[in-house]
Structure 1
Amino acid sequence: MALGLLPSRSAPLFTLSVRRRRRVLAAALLSDAVFPLAITGATAAVPEATDGLPGPAALGPWTVLAYNGLFAAALLLAGATADRTARTRFFAAGNLVVAATGLLSALAPGLPALVALRAVAGVGAAMCAAGGSSMVLAVHPPGERRRVYGYVGAVLGGGLALGPVVAQGLMAVGGWPLVFVVPGAVAALAALATLGLPGLRGGEPAEGFDRAGAVLFGLAVAAAVTAFGLGFGGAVPWWGPVCLLLAATACATALVRVERRVPAPVIPLDLLRIPAYRAYAVATGALMGMLVVGLTVFPRLVAGRVLGPGGAAVVLSLLTVPSTVLPLFAARLARRRARPLVTGALTVCAVTAAVLQVTDRPAALFAAAGTVGLCLGLTEGVPDGQALAHVPAERGGAGAALFGTARMSLETLTLSAAAGVTTTLGPAAGLAVAGTVCLTAALLLHRSTRPAGPGPVPRVPARSAGEAGGR
């Protein structure tokens, strides 16, 4: 089928055959499978890599922090760039960066080199995430995006549940280098999957690109994410995170001044003015915050009470396995009941956290972990599909990147606040922080005025109406 730009807001930006649309989605899903393993695997490999490579031991945590910080910093810029270039080629380039850095990480001569490679890998991962979303949204109309993000949720949920097990298995077979090589190999396959696909290049926007805003935004996010990551890791003195937060504040202040003067700001504030988009971004950040806090809190609550170390394994399974088996069912359920589903899940998570403030009985802990896991599984990918249904196809990369940045920022803030409260008041209090965030998100989503179900909804206009490029 011919490739072309369609003017309708209810149609995809490009028309492709069913077979090619499936190939686009398959390539994006293959790349998505890398993310959980890249994060959990790197975390599991830190002690072994620190012991096996020359360099200051204090650099060990930066193997993860450098990746996360650069990923968050580059995501919005990558999204804007993906929408302005050949989407498929940009996505493939990001996967090749991840593949190359994965191989080179296994051959790193020391910790400084490994940290530098992980930082580059974070930029490549941002290109993968933004490029994948940009090309998927460009070929799928809004009505199909909820179903598509059901598949995305299943892949990410499965990777999250199996990631730690796979990482430990890889280290048992080939040591820590294999933890970086295997995700790189999967990324290379994702790049190969795009061979023969059209480039999906749209017209160049009329407005100039806000490079200064993009740089300032990236620096502010990188500094803030790194500061929060170091804040509860104990790897550096207290003044390190404080200096980073001051730098982030300075960059954010300069960013506000720059954004007021440019005709096309790098931060698509017009998307944030859509109530449903904004509310679902907060909702998914709150749910992911509950997950990451739960992964650290529940094992501590269970330890020494039931089944010894086996109890922690059971609790973690209850927390993560539903995200492997439920997202596709959730996508079908969300066709007509998305907002009640997500609002209900957030509320139940908040109530569960409140119950654990008054009891720590083994049965209550297992029930709480299962309940939270069920809520996470039934909402995996749902907020993403609902929010991105409001984004024009030609701005899919920017819309998905802003959504991901908001989610990651709230998730990081929740984890940081919960870690501080846990240190002072205990693990159950840390879970209460995540529950409070979930309750706030539920109220915001309930008050949002945009309908989340199917049917025509007002959408933000595109910033430009450039003509379609070829391949």
Structure 2
Amino acid sequence: MALGIPLLRSAFMLVLSLRQRRRALVAALVADAVFPLAITGATGAVPEVIAELRGADALGPWIVLAYNGLFAAALLLAGAAADRLARTRFFAVGNLVVATTGALTALAPNLASLVALRALAGVGAAMCAAGGSSMILAVYPPEERRRVYGYAGAVLGSSLALGPVVSQGLMALGGWPLVFMAPGAVAALAALAVLGLPGLRGPKTPEPFDLAGALLFGTVVAAAVTALGLGFGAGVPWWAPTGLLLLAAAAAAALVRAERRAAVPALPVDLLRIPAYRAYAVATGALMGMLVVGLTALPRLGSAHRMDAGETAVMLSLLTVPSTLLPLLAARLARRLARQLVTTGLTVCAVTAVLLQVTEEPAYLLAGAGVLGLCLGLTEGVPDGQALRYVPSHRGGAGAALFSTARMSLETFVLAAATGVMAALGPAPGLAVAGAVCLAAALLVRKSVALSA
């Protein structure tokens, strides 16, 4: 089945010159560099923002939650819109929204206005992500997407690795406003990069769009992601995450009814029926879950075993730096060994998480961080490139948005579950939670990709 699909999809490609394609790719990669910094930087700036701006301290976490929630909520709608509109123009508008909100944060008079700007920035970021994917998938054929997503993996890995350092440097240089303004400036560069490119409007007459389904789906994802991000920890009233989860459940029930009645459902269910697409979405969510849990759990383990600040910095570098150096090598290996690369990386992550349950030596923690880092670096971007081979070029925005939504939702779930376990049992069992998800994802990829071959 899968062998004939990429040949059929090439008929939908939009033709650009080699130079124009490269400009579109560079613009999308520049925009990709914004997302990790926008999240890690905001997280590090929250205490300083609370100290300087008027407003209830309880609004502090919403500086991050509003961005993440609206980003998740708007992805599917933004992807469908990008496929129906001029792709490069849509992408540019999203980047300009991010740039404008970033500049306005410096003028925010209170926490409430800052949270509102961050929510709007999340919508702009969703437009950037969906517009960039729609733009790239419209001009690069399926056989070139592994290489393209190797570049994307390198950029995202570098941003994740350098994000905390860059955000701390920006705060030292210009205070918390610079943490929000710098990603906006980078987004403005991405918008400038597509000036003069063709609009890349799809050649087909757009299908009817299920707006109600897209809005309900966004409500489900935003409510669930925000509830999991908020958690049930100390200082969080029980009714806040509980209410959000109930809202997600009610919206999910309404979504099922709406999708059954829709002539063209908002959810691209035909993609969800492809086993490999589903499996690789789960795989990338599990790998990102391992990364974010590792960033939280490993420093706590190091502190418990009397590692000093220098050793902890080395450990975190071993975890993150391979995602900067290895994605292009991973893209080459994925030409022939994609399934083996992903399943091996997931399995080794799971085994390493188990072994870290029984060690008390800093040397073993450093080795474990290094092994996890290698697995993450050698799989960065690979599941994305493999899954998006199955997405028709004229539906690139919707297909990539659904993939990103699944990844973000699973990543958030893994982090929330691991955080709860760590609060009760300590940091090592939190890694075991992420490891268990990685093992389940490895088994799913091994089985499902074989079915799609």
* Bin for the TM-score computed over the shorter chain: over 0.9
| Correspondence 1:151 to 2:151 | yes
Is 2:275–2:451's contact at 8 Å kept on the other side of the alignment? Answer: no
What corresponds to 2:225 in structure 1? 225
1:12–1:381 Cα change, 3 Å: farther
Equivalent residues of 2:232, 2:241 under 8 A apart: no
Q: Which residue of 1 aligns with 2:29?
A: 29
Q: Give the C-alpha shift of residue 205 in structure 1.
A: 4.5
Q: Does structure 2 conserve the Cα–Cα contact (< 8 Å) formed by 1:84 and 1:203? A: no
1:428 matched to 2:420: no
Q: How far is 1:11 from its partner? A: 4.9
Q: Does 1:360 align with 2:398?
A: no
1:400 aligns with 2:416: no
1:274 is aligned with what amino acid?
I
1:413-424 → structure 2 map (5 Å cutoff): 413-424=413-424
Structure 2 equivalent of residue 290 of structure 1: 290
The answer as to 2:378 corresponding to 1:375 is no
Displacement, 1:8?
A: 4.5
1:107 counterpart SS class = coil
- Write the distance in 1 (CA, Å) between the matches of 2:44 and 2:328: 29
- Partner Cα separation in structure 1 for residue 7 and residue 263 of structure 2: 23
Q: Is the 8 A contact 1:232 1:416 kept in 2?
A: no
- Structure 1 residue 25: Cα displacement: 0.1
AA partner of residue 88 (structure 2): T
Aligned partners of 1:408, 1:82: CA distance in 2, in Å? Answer: 20
RMSD of aligned residue pairs (Cα, Å): 1.5
Shift of 1:194: 0.6
**Within the alignment, does 1:163 sit opposite 2:163 as a pair?**
yes
Give the aligned residue type for 2:146.
R
Instruction: Indicate if the aligned counterparts of 1:40 and 1:167 stay in contact, CA closer than 8 A.
Output: yes
1:280-333 CA deviation, whole Å, 9 max, x = no partner?
000000000000000000000001424422222111111100000100111001
- Secondary structure, counterpart of 1:303 in structure 2: helix
Deviation at 1:451, TM superposition (A): 7.6
TM-score, scaled relative to structure 2: 0.97
| Contact map agreement 1:352 1:372 (CA 8 A) in 2 | yes
CA deviations on 1:117-165 (whole Å, 9 max, x unpaired) are 0000000000000000000000000000000000000000000011110
Supply the AA of the counterpart residue of 2:143.
G
| Structure 2 segments unaligned to the other structure (5+ residues) | 1-5
- SS in structure 2 at match of 1:389: helix
The structure-2 alpha-carbon separation of the partners of 1:70 and 1:179, relative to structure 1 and needing over 3 Å to count, comes to same
2:114 match:
114
Give the whole-Å Cα distance in 2 for the aligned partners of 1:53 and 1:381: 39
- 1:311-364 CA distance string (max 9 Å, x none): 221111111000001001110011100000000000000000111122222121
Instruction: Name the structure 2 match of 1:462.
Output: none
Contact 1:303 1:311 in 2 (8 A): no
Residue correspondence of structure 1 range 270-281 to structure 2 within 5 A: 270-281=270-281
Q: Deviation per CA, 1:391-444, whole angstroms, max 9, x where unpaired?
A: 110010011000000000100111111111111111111110000000000000
Q: Give SS of 2:217's match.
A: helix
1:314-333 map, 5 Å: 314-333=314-333
Paired residue type of 1:114: L
Contact kept, 8 Å, 2:293 with 2:418, in 1: the verdict is yes
Deviation at 1:233, TM superposition (A): 5.0
Structure 2 residue aligned with 1:338:
338
1:12 CA drift (Å): 5.5
Q: Report the equivalent of 1:59.
A: 59
Task: Give TM-score, length-normalised by structure 1.
Answer: 0.93
| Whole-Å separation in 2 of the counterparts to 1:410 and 1:424 | 21
Q: What runs of 5+ residues in structure 1 fail to find an aligned partner? A: 1-5, 458-471
Same amino acid, percent of matched pairs: 73
- Does the aligned pair in 1 maintain the 2:216–2:252 contact within 8 Å? yes
Aligned-residue offset at 1:275 = 1.1
Q: Is the Cα–Cα contact under 8 Å of residues 307 and 362 in structure 2 kept in the other structure?
A: no
Residue of structure 2 equivalent to 1:198: 198
Q: CA 1:307–1:361 in 2, change beyond 3 Å: closer, same or farther?
A: closer
In the other structure, the counterpart of 2:302 is 302
2:446 aligned partner: 446
Q: Which amino acid aligns with 2:111?
A: L
SS at match of 1:400: helix
Tell me how far 1:219 sits from its aligned partner: 1.2
